[in-house]
Amino acid sequence: MDFFHKAKAVRLRSHHDKYLLADDDEESVNQDRDGSSKNAKWIVELVPGSDFIIRLKSCYGKYLTASNQPFLLGMTGRKVLQTLPRRLDSSVEWEPTREGGQMKLKTRYGNFLR
């Protein structure tokens, strides 16, 4: 996506007007209506060899990572975390897709960040 190719850092806001923040525990992420803190800023890294895939790094230098851990018991959603993996693999890679006036981030496994 051209938007991310030009961006150095972004703040991710949901359709509920909440921002994705890196928690101070340097592992969790949460949502908050106040997106003015440094924790709401995510550094955009382009994945070499791909025009469409990005990585997002928190203010703590850790990557926004898709996990297989359930978000809530009985729900279909999965947790996202901030991690510093030994090697950068597909769990830290996101594919931005535009849908109307909004941007969605999809994991390499086809799940969307919600």
Task: Output the pLDDT for position 70.
Answer: 58
pLDDT in tens, the chain (114 residues): 567 878 899 999 998 999 999 999 999 999 999 999 999 999 999 999 988 899 999 999 999 998 766 565 555 566 788 999 888 888 999 999 988 888 899 988 787 776
Q: Which two tokens stand for residue 93?
A: 């890679």
Task: Output the pLDDT for position 107.
Answer: 87
Residue 11: alpha-carbon gap to chain centroid:
10
Task: Output the pLDDT for position 66.
Answer: 87
The CATH number assigned to the domain with range 2-107 reads 2.80.10.50
Q: Which residues pair with 103 in a beta bridge?
A: 98
HSE toward the beta carbon, residue 110, CA cutoff 13 A: 0
Task: Yes or no: say if 52 and 85 are a contact pair by the CB < 8 Å rule.
Answer: no
Instruction: Write down the domain spans for the chain.
Output: 2-107
